[in-house]
């Protein structure tokens, strides 16, 4: 426990918040051939098949990468895939670490900081989420326009690392508006309707209660999930272009009376939308 900074916030893991640890992992990946990634993508539950689209791929298992953790959750892979998409060098995180797995928030965001130090300019964050907005439907995709951080955690707490961004970063345009509009227009041009809305990030791992979903609707959330927010904070902190794509995998708790939420449904919806999802991520890479 002596890696943790204080009894009041056990979520700051100083070793993994340090630039030298982050840079050591970046060097490890560079030495393995990941030399000039431009765009990063993290794939959410049930969405991992996207990685197969990359050409000339280098694949490295998380278990081999210093500071990375093998995922504990079924449906979450644990692999970095680096390759080309139409000549653009893309690095995919197939599988993410979640706070609910018991990792410090510093550990959760560690891979994104490594990608930042490898030089990516854009981060595409994807996830599966529960749909709160009754005008949207399960099985559709939502561009994240903003988020509400309800995790009670902030990955920037602790000493600021100036090389990774300013002490007090602005969050006004976290999910880059002009890119969002461009992605939406291109998707519409190939017949894909994308919703746009606010993502509420909770820690999980419980799905929410119906009362919590009513509360989230009241405060302006359109979707709810257990990831994304810490990742968006650190990549926005570093000045990257951030694009968030949420697969609305189920209607949130209580919206359909007495219907329970299962991970099977989340994974099944991910598989059902895989093709559309891939087209939208392709657009987000190229735009």
> What is the chain's length?
287
Instruction: Give the shortest CB-123-to-ligand HPA separation in angstroms.
Output: 20
Q: Which of 42, 261, 284, 285 binds ligand HPA (CB under 6 A)?
A: 261
Instruction: Give the shortest CB-129-to-ligand HPA separation in angstroms.
Output: 5
Q: How far apart are CA 32 and CA 30, in angstroms?
A: 5
Based on its alpha-carbon atoms, the radius of gyration of the chain, rounded to whole angstroms, reads 18
Q: Which of 225, 244, 254, 270 binds ligand HPA (CB under 6 A)?
A: 225
Contact 208, 255 (CB under 8 A): no
Which of residues 225 and 230 has its CB atom nearest to ligand HPA in the complex? 225
SS3 for 131?
Answer: strand
Q: Which of 208, 212, 222, 241 binds ligand HPA (CB under 6 A)?
A: 208
Q: Which of 250, 254, 280, 283 binds ligand HPA (CB under 6 A)?
A: 250
Which of residues 21 and 126 has its CB atom nearest to ligand HPA in the complex? 126
Tokens representing residue 268 in the block: 């099944």
Render the burial of 65-78: b for 16+ CB within 10 Å, e for the rest: bebbbebebebbbb
Which of residues 24 and 73 has its CB atom nearest to ligand HPA in the complex? 73
Q: How far apart are CA 42 and CA 151, in angstroms?
A: 19
Q: How far apart are CA 8 and CA 153, in angstroms?
A: 12
Find the binding residues for ligand HPA in span 118-157 (CB under 6 A).
128-130
Which of residues 124 and 200 has its CB atom nearest to ligand HPA in the complex? 200
Which residues sit at the interface with ligand HPA, rule CB under 6 A? 128-130, 207-208, 224-226, 249-250, 252, 261, 266
């Amino acid at each position: 426990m002596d890696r943790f900074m204080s009894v009041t916030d056990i979520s700051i893991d100083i070793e993994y918040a340090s630039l030298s640890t982050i840079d050591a992992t970046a060097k490890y990946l560079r030495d393995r051939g990941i030399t000039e990634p431009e765009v990063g993508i993290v794939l959410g539950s049930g969405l991992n098949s996207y990685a197969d689209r990359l050409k000339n791929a280098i694949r490295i298992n998380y278990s081999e990468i210093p500071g990375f953790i093998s995922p504990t959750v079924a449906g979450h892979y644990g692999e970095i895939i680096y390759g080309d998409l139409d000549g653009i060098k893309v690095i995919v995180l197939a599988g993410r670490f979640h706070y609910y797995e018991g990792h410090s928030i510093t550990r959760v965001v560690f891979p994104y900081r490594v990608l930042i130090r490898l030089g990516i300019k854009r981060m595409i964050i994807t996830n599966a989420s529960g749909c709160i907005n009754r005008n949207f439907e399960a099985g559709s995709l939502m561009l994240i326009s903003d988020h509400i951080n309800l995790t009670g955690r902030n990955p920037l707490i602790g000493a600021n690392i100036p090389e990774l961004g300013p002490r007090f970063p602005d969050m006004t345009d976290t999910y880059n508006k002009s890119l969002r509009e461009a992605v939406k227009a291109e998707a519409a041009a190939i017949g894909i309707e994308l919703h746009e809305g606010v993502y509420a990030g909770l820690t999980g791992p419980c799905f929410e209660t119906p009362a919590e979903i009513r509360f989230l609707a009241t405060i302006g959330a359109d979707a709810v999930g257990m990831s994304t927010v810490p990742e968006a904070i650190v990549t926005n902190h570093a000045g990257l272009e951030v694009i968030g794509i949420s697969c609305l995998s189920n209607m949130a708790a209580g919206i359909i009376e007495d219907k329970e939420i299962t991970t099977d449904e989340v994974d099944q919806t991910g598989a059902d939308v895989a093709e559309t999802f891939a087209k939208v991520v392709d657009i987000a890479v190229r735009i």
